[in-house]
């Protein structure tokens, strides 16, 4: 931030000509000056105003540096300055307060006892952004790119390769400063080292990309936590990016932050239409693209990719869930806001509109889960099961905990290895005979099936997010606390 | 009016690096064969090892812990210290 201009000793008034209250008090200011008080009047618009004050005591606050730095929100404001420091302030016209500040006896005879002031030009909505950039712009370290008058800044963003294919919000300094209001972390703090180019991403760089993605400032802490989680050895963003497989980072938000920023955990929660869901996942992808240099066709070698790679972000429905949320399972205290990243794509559907017993419904789930990736491939890739409210109710009414469901699914997904070996069923794909023949193998290595609760209140469907290579060899579900 | 945009990129250009000179012959060279742990990479590399050995080179075999992550820095350093050439296998 640029430094505040020092204030002169004595009384300091800030006024503007375009303010009836300032006109009302101008004789009072003249009176103070005439009585020999040490008075300086900063005038925001008309350097000749107020005429009642001698020109020598008037200063044109051209550029509004004094008003902005000294947080003048209303004119007139009168300050007492002693030793270079503001010691008292009165806002608007309040006779008693002015008399106390001026300490020169009765003031403004014939005026009403009080009259509210007008908005200071330094907080005028049409100027506020411009002033903030002028006085706070030095906080921003990113290279400034000037877009020529005849160029369209949205097209510039496309031309420079900053976009995921959709238009981006132009990251102007004013928008980035507003975005940075969403966190208490300083702009130059390093959030993570982003693959594949292994470039340090500062809070500011994440904010620039969050602006482009369309985030509101209050989403920024979630985006920051998502970037932190992505750039860990456990999540292995590099591997996830460069694989030929479909997956990308899926962002699951838990805790009070989800409701605070208006995230969708209910109707159409994996679909379109919610700004936070749509832009937080997108911001993470833009950070990987722009800061990390992870470009499709470059390091990103996906055969198909997936629509999920534009943005795949939702909140868990904790209030409607019979079970503990994902964040608590992951070791965080209830009520803690977290971001979890899952390497996945999808969703795939599970239809079961008939089952009313948990045993039957679990079998439906298992039948669909055993087919993910390939019915004959096991123990290599993970999955996330999103249980809908109507399905969760079946388990809740029967008293099944999440752990019980997982345990039952593990039993149902213990598969006959002879059916899985290469060549079995006339399908060459499958597990090596040395690993599978004559044994029973689990579809998922324990811990590689995550379970969350979300979705609209109606619909006896659940969802599967198909995962990628799990464990130390691939990407693991990774959770970070959201810090404001 | 011109618009100012803040650069969203890492603002880092990769340092230009020239490739090492190609050897005229493998005779007497030490060649690293790096298996990235993809299925059947070992089969492919076994064949490569025969071909390289027949050309008078000494072969040393290395394996990345997983194809899904970059090779660990220590492994890269070890290969650089022990070998002059590297052949990295991708297979499925």
SS3 (DSSP) at B74: helix
Phi then psi dihedrals of residue A255, to 5 deg: 90, 180
Whether residue A150 is contained in a domain is answered as no
Distances (CA, A) of A333 to A120, A330, A386, A477: 46, 9, 21, 18
Residues of A in contact with B69 (CB under 8 A): 233, 236, 238-239, 473
Domain that holds residue A417: 156-481
| Beta bridge partners of residue B6, listed in sequence order | A144
Determine, yes or no, domain membership for B57. Answer: yes
* One domain, residues A96 and A179: no
Domain stops at, among A136, A167, A197: A136
The answer to whether residue B56 sits within a structural domain is yes
Same domain, A175 and A251: yes
Distance from CA of A145 to the nearest CA of B (A): 5
Instruction: Please name the helix (run of DSSP H) or strand (run of DSSP E) that holds residue A75, with its range, or none.
Output: strand A74-75
Residue A286, in any domain of the structure: yes
Q: Does residue A3 belong to any structural domain of this protein?
A: no
Task: Count up the domains in chain A and report the number.
Answer: 2
* Token pair listed for B85: 């050439």
- A200 contacts in chain B (CB < 8 Å): 10
Domain tally, chain B: 1
Same domain, A255 and A399: yes
A410 in the same domain as A381: yes
* Chain-chain contact of B14 with A197 (C-beta, under 8 angstroms): yes
DSSP string, B33-63: EEE-S-TTHHHHHHHHHHHHHHTT-EEEEEE
CA dist A388 and A461 (Å) reads 6
For residue B63, pLDDT beyond 90? yes
CB nearest A290 (choices: B3, B8, B65):
B8
Output the CA–CA distances (angstroms, integers) from residue A291 to A56, A184, A478, in the order listed.
Answer: 54, 22, 21
Residue A141 falls inside a structural domain: no
**Chain B residues touching A241 at Cβ < 8 A:** none
- Same domain flag for A409 and A272: yes
Q: Which of A248-252, B55-59, B72-76 has the lowest mean pLDDT?
A: B72-76
Decide if B68 and A209 are in contact by the 8 Å CB cutoff: no
Whether the CB-CB separation of A358 and A405 falls below 8 Å is answered with: yes
Q: Tell if the CB–CB gap between B3 and A147 is shorter than 8 Å.
A: yes
Final residue before a domain boundary, out of A105, A136, A167: A136
Average per-residue pLDDT in chain B?
Answer: 88
Identify the pLDDT of residue A105: 77
My answer on whether A106 and A205 are in the same domain is no
Asked whether A41 and A102 are in contact (CB, 8 A), the reply is no
pLDDT value at position A103? Answer: 85
Residue B25 belongs to a domain: no
Q: Which domain holds residue B47?
A: 30-89
Strand partners, A39: A11
- A106 and A33 in a common domain: yes
**B contacts of A286 (beta carbons < 8 Å):** 8
Domain membership flag for residue A205: yes
Give buried/exposed letters for B38-48 (b at 16+ CB in 10 A, else e): beebbebbeee
Residue A145 lies in a domain: no
Inside any domain, residue B47? yes
Assess whether A259 and A371 both reside in one domain.
Answer: yes
Low-confidence ranges of chain A (pLDDT < 50): none
Does A366 reside within a domain? yes
Tell me what ipTM this predicted complex has: 0.88
Task: Please classify residue A23 by burial: count the beta carbons closer than 10 Å to its beta carbon, then call 0-12 exposed, 13-18 middle and 19+ buried.
Answer: middle
* Alpha carbon of residue A246 to chain centroid: 25
CB atoms within 10 A of CB A358: 19
Same-domain pairing of A322 and A404: yes
C-alpha span between A190 and A222 (Å, rounded): 16
Whether the CB-CB separation of B19 and B47 falls below 8 Å is answered with no
Quick one: pLDDT band at residue B23, thresholds 50, 70, 90?
Answer: confident
Domain end (from A77, A101, A136): A136
Confidence at residue A2, expressed as pLDDT on a 0 to 100 scale: 66
Q: What angle do CA A453, A477, A264 make, to 5 degrees?
A: 35
For residue B25, give how far its alpha carbon lies from the nearest alpha carbon of chain A (Å): 32
Nearest chain B alpha carbon to A232:
B69
Same domain, A124 and A254: no
Among A377, A371, A468, A370, which Cα is nearest to A431's?
A377
CA distance A26 to A183: 42
Of residues B38 and A372, more confidently modeled? A372
Q: Is A83 part of any domain?
A: yes
CB < 8 Å to A157, chain B: 5
Short-list A335, A343, A381, CA closest to A252: A343
Helix (H) or strand (E) holding A86: strand A85-91
Give yes or no for residue B39 having a pLDDT over 90: no
Whether residue A127 is found in the same domain as residue A19: yes
């Amino acid at each position: 931030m640029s430094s505040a201009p020092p204030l002169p000793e004595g009384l300091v008034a800030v006024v503007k000509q375009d303010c009836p209250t300032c006109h009302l008090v101008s004789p009072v200011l003249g009176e103070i000056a005439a009585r020999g008080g040490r008075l300086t009047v900063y005038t925001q618009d008309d350097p000749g105003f107020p005429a009642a004050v001698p020109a020598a005591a008037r200063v044109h606050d051209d550029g509004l540096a004094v008003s902005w730095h000294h947080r003048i929100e209303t004119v007139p404001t009168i300050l007492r300055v002693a030793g270079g420091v503001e010691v008292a302030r009165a806002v608007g016209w309040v006779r008693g307060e002015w008399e106390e500040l001026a300490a020169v006896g009765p003031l403004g005879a014939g005026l009403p006892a009080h009259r509210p002031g007008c908005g200071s030009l330094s907080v005028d909505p049409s100027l506020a952004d411009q002033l903030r950039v002028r006085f706070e712009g030095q906080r921003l370290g990113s290279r400034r790119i000037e877009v020529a008058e005849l160029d369209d800044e949205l097209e510039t963003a496309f031309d420079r390769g900053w976009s995921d294919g959709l238009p981006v919000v132009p990251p102007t300094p004013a928008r980035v400063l507003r975005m940075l209001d969403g966190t208490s972390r300083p702009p130059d703090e390093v959030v993570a080292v982003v693959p594949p180019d292994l470039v340090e991403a500062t809070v500011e760089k994440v904010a620039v990309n969050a602006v482009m993605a369309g985030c509101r400032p209050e989403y920024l802490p979630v985006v920051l936590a998502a970037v932190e989680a992505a750039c860990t050895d456990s999540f292995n963003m590099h591997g996830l990016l460069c694989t030929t497989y479909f997956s990308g980072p899926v962002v699951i938000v838990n805790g009070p932050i989800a409701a605070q920023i208006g995230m969708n955990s209910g109707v159409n929660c994996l679909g379109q239409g919610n700004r936070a869901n749509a832009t937080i996942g997108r911001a993470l992808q833009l950070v990987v693209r722009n800061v990390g240099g992870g470009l499709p066709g470059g390091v990103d070698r996906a055969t198909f990719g997936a629509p999920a790679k534009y943005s795949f972000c939702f909140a868990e429905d904790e209030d409607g869930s019979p079970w503990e949320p994902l964040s608590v399972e992951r070791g965080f205290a209830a009520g803690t806001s977290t971001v979890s990243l899952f390497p996945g794509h999808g969703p795939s559907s599970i239809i079961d509109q008939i089952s009313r017993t948990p045993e039957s419904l679990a079998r439906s789930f298992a039948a669909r889960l055993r087919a993910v990736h390939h019915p004959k491939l096991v123990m290599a890739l993970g999955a996330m099961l999103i249980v809908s409210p109507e399905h969760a109710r079946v388990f809740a009414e029967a008293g099944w905990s999440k752990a019980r469901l997982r345990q039952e699914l593990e039993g149902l997904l213990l598969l006959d290895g002879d059916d899985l070996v290469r060549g079995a069923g006339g399908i060459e794909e499958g597990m090596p005979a040395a690993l599978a023949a004559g044994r029973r193998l689990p579809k998922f290595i324990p811990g590689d099936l995550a379970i969350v609760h979300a979705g609209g209140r109606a619909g006896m469907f659940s969802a599967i997010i198909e995962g990628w290579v799990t464990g130390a060899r691939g990407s693991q579900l990774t959770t970070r606390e959201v810090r404001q | 009016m011109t618009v100012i945009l803040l650069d969203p990129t890492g603002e880092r250009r990769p340092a230009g690096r020239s490739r090492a000179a190609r050897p005229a012959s493998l005779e007497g060279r030490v060649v690293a064969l790096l298996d990235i742990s993809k299925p059947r990479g070992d089969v492919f590399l076994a064949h490569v090892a025969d071909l390289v050995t027949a050309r008078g080179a000494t072969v040393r075999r290395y394996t990345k812990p997983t194809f899904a992550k970059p090779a660990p820095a220590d492994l890269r350093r070890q290969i650089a210290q022990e070998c002059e050439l590297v052949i990295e296998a991708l297979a499925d």
